[in-house]
Chains A and B, each alone.
Chain A
Amino acid sequence: MSNTPTTLFDKVWDAHVIRKIEDGPDVFFIDRHFIHEVTSPVAFLGLENRGVNVMFPDRTYATADHNTPTVNQHLPVQDPLSANQLKALETNSSKYGISHWGLGNPKNGIVHVVGPENGITLPGMTIVCGDSHTSTHGAFGAIAFGIGTSEVEMVLSSQCIMQPKPKKMRINVNGNLSKGVTPKDVILYIISKLTTAGATGYFVEYAGDVFENMSMEGRMTVCNMSIEMGARGGMIAPDQTTFNYINGREKAPKGEAWDKALAYWKTLKTEEGATFDKEYNFDAADIEPMITYGTNPGMGIGISNHIPLAEEVGGGKSTYEKSLNYMGFHEGEEMKGKKIDYVFIGSCTNGRIEDFRAFASVIKGRKKAENVTAWIVPGSHVVEQQIKDEGILDILTEAGFQLRQPGCSACLAMNDDKIPAGKYAVSTSNRNFEGRQGPGARTLLASPLVAAAAAVTGVVTDPRELLEEAAV
């Protein structure tokens, strides 16, 4: 029925279905495909084994990020396995005519940072990548989600995947965020309420004042972590903030094409009265700076709170105890004041310029705590250059920090950036799973402000205390 109000998600999804299979998935067309060195080699091998070509090479972009060093990128990569993977990406891209931004290329960086940065990500698109944080691109009103390597092979060979349509969820956050509360805190708060599996089977639309007032980079942080509550992806309706961000970027439409695109983009919103399978409402005033204490991203609390008692949390007691045991924490303890060893700022979640500005706002005029090792990793070369141009590098250097080169780094610790066993890392990345940042590493997920406060005090610290001092 044409009069039925529809959702943003339905508009974009339905426009990309080529065929509906009865009692099966939709054959779903993919506008843009990102690949990286880790999840693509076996897909290319599959193409070779079948003798099949890449159908639309100009719809795929390759960047090296997961398994790259963050120092001395001008030198040959030391680890032969990593070097081999990077070489495979380069060879495969060249063989099939795919744009490749390898190490040393000025456009190189984390796939979910460079896509939007170059204007590849646009409203209304369908975007996939063999990486679960592809949900990041949903910030532009795109349907974007992570896929497995078999699906990478499908997209390369046919520009389609076979995907059942997810259910729809809307999460509304209204009101004003307090000082020191960032987009990262908003999404960690939401995940803590929904749990790590609370949105499994759903595609999320984030709506309300908080997201309307948020920058594009903030929206990317939020959509990025949709997968951490099980959702395949999350999206935000495009608006003037979106259009301003896109305008002028290299791959963005220009001239007449821009006007045409803009007219289309303005239709991409959920209509009044459209229904969702599930809807949540949160009040911005309830959100404070967040930190995680356990081994999944749903195990987060406001920084001034205590670790919940086993009986207060859902799920199995033994799983909860295993988690706290791994972290070396006890139920009921306060998070503030806990000694930390490492700080990691970066990743596709918080590796953009606004994140480094936030970090710098706290450390300016202070010194890195002696017990802390800090890894500061920009999301791309463009971000690295901004850090230098805006004088943030000087602030970092003055405070005793060093800037590394772009890549996924300690977020998944595939390269040498591994947190040692038993050590505590306050990390702006997206996962605190056991061993995620290195075997035995203990991760506390938080915002760049919380990471900065920990970096200069050496313990878990409420950044608002430092922000207030700075304001005096």
Chain B
Amino acid sequence: MAYDKFTVLTSSAVPLPIENVDTDQIIPARFLKATKREGFGENLFRDWRYNNDNSPKEDFVLNNPIYSGKILVGGKNFGSGSSREHAAWAIYDYGFRCVVSSFFADIFKGNAINVGILPVQVSPEFLDKIFTAIEADPKTQLEVNLPEQTITILATKEKEKFDINGYKKHNLLNGFDDIDYLQAMKSEINTFAESSVY
């Protein structure tokens, strides 16, 4: 599925300073019954966000109007658990384009890039700085610069480099996806399949 190109994103951020945010929190299994990729944002963090009677839980960050923006900042080991891409869809559909953490679970990280969300892994120290900056000013602006591979807290000019492999970076910058790449390799794949053991 095509997504918007990612270059430089400057936005305020939503802080979620909890470790091991798993995909069952991001989107509980009971909301995985759709056969189309639509409406998952409504159920993002469903059980942290809403009471059983569907009223919003006021103490949850997404229900606090002070915080907004296209960047979600989570505690370490963000996205652990299941392979459900619905978790990435829910984050994208809600309006986030970038998730920042000091550590990502593997499958989530791959899914995020595949749907057009940039996972930015920063040092634990820099993550603390971001949380502190948002605490001091909820509207504080972060700049995520994919071409330069940097994230900057604009108010303090504190900056850190982040890693992404060149292939995935190229995809995100251009809105390409892996399926386009693989479709162009079909004869090579056919040859390989013919000689494979299984």
Chain A residues near B (Cβ < 8 Å): 15-16, 18-19, 21-25, 27, 29, 31-32, 38-39, 41-42, 45-46, 49-50, 52, 55-56, 66-67, 79, 81-82, 84-85, 88, 122, 124-125, 130-132, 134, 146-151, 153-154, 157-162, 164, 166, 196-197, 200-201, 227, 230, 232, 264, 296, 315-316, 318-319, 322, 412-414, 418, 421, 431, 433-436, 439-440
Determine the chain B residues whose CB is within 8 A of the CB of A200 once the complex forms: 77, 103-106
Per-position binary interface string of chain B over residues 21-39, scored 1 when its CB falls under 8 Å from any chain A CB and 0 otherwise: 0101100111011111100
The distance in angstroms between the C-alpha atoms of A397 and B20, with both chains bound, is 40
Q: Assuming the A-B contacts A146-B107, A296-B22, are A160 and B179 also in contact, with contact meaning beta carbons closer than 8 angstroms in the complex?
A: no
Shortest CB–CB separation between residue A218 and chain B, in angstroms? 23
The distance in angstroms between the C-alpha atoms of A282 and B169, with both chains bound, is 40
Q: Assuming the A-B contacts A24-B166, A157-B179, are A435 and B47 also in contact, with contact meaning beta carbons closer than 8 angstroms in the complex?
A: yes
* 5 contacts across the A-B interface (CB closer than 8 A): A131-B82, A147-B107, A148-B88, A154-B178, A164-B165
Asked if residues A433 and B22 are in contact (CB atoms below 8 Å), the reply is yes
Q: Which B residues from 34 to 63 make CB contacts under 8 A with A?
A: 34-37, 47, 52
Asked if residues A55 and B186 are in contact (CB atoms below 8 Å), the reply is yes
Per-position binary interface string of chain B over residues 85-110, scored 1 when its CB falls under 8 Å from any chain A CB and 0 otherwise: 11010000000000000011111001
Asked if residues B20 and A319 are in contact (CB atoms below 8 Å), the reply is yes
Q: Assuming the A-B contacts A27-B182, A319-B19, are A434 and B111 also in contact, with contact meaning beta carbons closer than 8 angstroms in the complex?
A: no
Asked if residues B186 and A196 are in contact (CB atoms below 8 Å), the reply is no
Determine the chain A residues whose CB is within 8 A of the CB of B104 once the complex forms: 200
Q: Decide yes or no whether B183 CB sits under 8 A from chain A.
A: yes
Asked if residues B29 and A412 are in contact (CB atoms below 8 Å), the reply is yes
Which B-chain residue is minimally distant from A315 (CB atoms)?
B19
Asked if residues A436 and B24 are in contact (CB atoms below 8 Å), the reply is yes
From B22, B36, B110, contact of A45 by CB (8 A): B36
Q: Decide yes or no whether B18 CB sits under 8 A from chain A.
A: yes
Shortest CB–CB separation between residue A160 and chain B, in angstroms? 6
Which among B4-12, B134-142, B188-196 touches the partner chain? B188-196
Query: Top 10 A-B pairs ranked by shortest CB distance?
Result: A24-B167, A23-B166, A146-B83, A148-B85, A148-B111, A81-B33, A41-B35, A158-B182, A150-B114, A149-B85
Instruction: Label chain A's interface by main secondary structure.
Output: loop
The distance in angstroms between the C-alpha atoms of A147 and B110, with both chains bound, is 9
Shortest CB–CB separation between residue A192 and chain B, in angstroms? 14
From B30, B77, B85, B192, contact of A18 by CB (8 A): B192
Q: Assuming the A-B contacts A39-B83, A160-B189, A412-B29, are A150 and B196 also in contact, with contact meaning beta carbons closer than 8 angstroms in the complex?
A: no
Most buried by A among B34, B189, B198: B198
Asked if residues B25 and A197 are in contact (CB atoms below 8 Å), the reply is no
The distance in angstroms between the C-alpha atoms of A421 and B53, with both chains bound, is 13
Shortest CB–CB separation between residue B152 and chain A, in angstroms? 24
From A22, A147, A418, contact of B166 by CB (8 A): A22
The distance in angstroms between the C-alpha atoms of A439 and B168, with both chains bound, is 36
Determine the chain B residues whose CB is within 8 A of the CB of A32 once the complex forms: 198
Asked if residues A150 and B168 are in contact (CB atoms below 8 Å), the reply is no
Determine the chain A residues whose CB is within 8 A of the CB of B77 once the complex forms: 196-197, 200, 230
Shortest CB–CB separation between residue A454 and chain B, in angstroms? 23
Which B-chain residue is minimally distant from A253 (CB atoms)?
B198
Asked if residues B107 and A88 are in contact (CB atoms below 8 Å), the reply is no
Asked if residues B83 and A150 are in contact (CB atoms below 8 Å), the reply is no
Asked if residues B196 and A42 are in contact (CB atoms below 8 Å), the reply is no
Asked if residues A230 and B178 are in contact (CB atoms below 8 Å), the reply is no
Determine the chain A residues whose CB is within 8 A of the CB of B185 once the complex forms: 18-19, 27, 158, 160
The distance in angstroms between the C-alpha atoms of A175 and B163, with both chains bound, is 42
Determine the chain B residues whose CB is within 8 A of the CB of A122 once the complex forms: 198
Determine the chain A residues whose CB is within 8 A of the CB of B197 once the complex forms: 15, 31, 124, 264
Shortest CB–CB separation between residue B121 and chain A, in angstroms? 11
Which B-chain residue is minimally distant from A82 (CB atoms)?
B33
Asked if residues B84 and A55 are in contact (CB atoms below 8 Å), the reply is no
The distance in angstroms between the C-alpha atoms of A455 and B198, with both chains bound, is 44
Q: Decide yes or no whether B68 CB sits under 8 A from chain A.
A: no
From A19, A22, A150, contact of B85 by CB (8 A): A150
Asked if residues B29 and A413 are in contact (CB atoms below 8 Å), the reply is yes
Determine the chain A residues whose CB is within 8 A of the CB of B106 once the complex forms: 166, 200-201, 230, 232
Given contacts A146-B83, A164-B165, 13 further A-B contacts (CB under 8 A): A29-B192, A122-B198, A147-B107, A150-B1, A158-B186, A160-B189, A197-B76, A200-B104, A232-B106, A264-B197, A418-B30, A433-B81, A439-B47
Determine the chain A residues whose CB is within 8 A of the CB of B198 once the complex forms: 31-32, 122, 124-125
Q: Assuming the A-B contacts A23-B166, A27-B182, A196-B80, are A433 and B24 also in contact, with contact meaning beta carbons closer than 8 angstroms in the complex?
A: yes
The distance in angstroms between the C-alpha atoms of A154 and B189, with both chains bound, is 12
Determine the chain A residues whose CB is within 8 A of the CB of B166 once the complex forms: 22-24
Asked if residues A414 and B85 are in contact (CB atoms below 8 Å), the reply is no
Determine the chain A residues whose CB is within 8 A of the CB of B165 once the complex forms: 23-25, 164
From B17, B20, B82, B103, contact of A296 by CB (8 A): B20
Shortest CB–CB separation between residue A407 and chain B, in angstroms? 13
Which B-chain residue is minimally distant from A294 (CB atoms)?
B20
Which A-chain residue is minimally distant from B24 (CB atoms)?
A433
From A23, A150, A440, contact of B167 by CB (8 A): A23
Determine the chain A residues whose CB is within 8 A of the CB of B107 once the complex forms: 132, 146-148, 227, 232
Shortest CB–CB separation between residue B183 and chain A, in angstroms? 7
The distance in angstroms between the C-alpha atoms of A418 and B47, with both chains bound, is 15
Determine the chain A residues whose CB is within 8 A of the CB of B86 once the complex forms: 149
Q: Decide yes or no whether B146 CB sits under 8 A from chain A.
A: no
Determine the chain B residues whose CB is within 8 A of the CB of A39 once the complex forms: 83-85
Determine the chain A residues whose CB is within 8 A of the CB of B183 once the complex forms: 50, 52, 157-158
